[in-house]
Amino acid sequence: MSAPAIQLFLYGKWLFNIDQAQALLKEHPRDAKPTPVADWAAAYHLDRLTPDYDGARWCPVFGPDQSAFNAERALQTDLNKPVIIATLEFDGRPAVLLIDGVHRMYRAMTECRATLPAHTLTTAETARIRER
């Protein structure tokens, strides 16, 4: 019997442990807040992924790794489950990054949803779940 796969999110050179993020959110619960679907869909180029996209191997130089994206799976996701947003710091200012929920965001985009529920991690929490 093999160990369950660890859920990770790769963004450029950064790697985030989603299992750790989910455990952290269980330890420190918070209310989900709405996050705009159109903004994330544009930032992650989700409009370029047609429904017949089957996970062809491509990864942008800077951006989320879409090599494991599956449109069929995306259309089966639970839109009530909050996505997870990491907070990083650049030039002393916070910057946010969707690290869990790209498939849900894709489905919400195709269904013309305005928002999805989201849990946002602090910069300290993000540092705890970032592996590189």
Decide: helix, strand or coil at residue 62: coil
Residue 91, pLDDT above cutoff 50: yes
| pLDDT tens-digit series, residues 10-27 | 887 899 999 999 999 999
Count of beta carbons in the 10 Å neighbourhood of residue 104? 24
| pLDDT tens-digit series, residues 29-63 | 999 999 999 999 988 888 777 666 555 555 554 45
Q: Greatest CA separation found in the chain?
A: 46
Q: Where are any strands of DSSP class E within 31-109?
A: 33-36, 83-90, 93-100
Q: What is the pLDDT of residue 61?
A: 44
Decide: helix, strand or coil at residue 101: coil
| Out of 24-28, 51-55, 109-113, 116-120, least confident range | 51-55
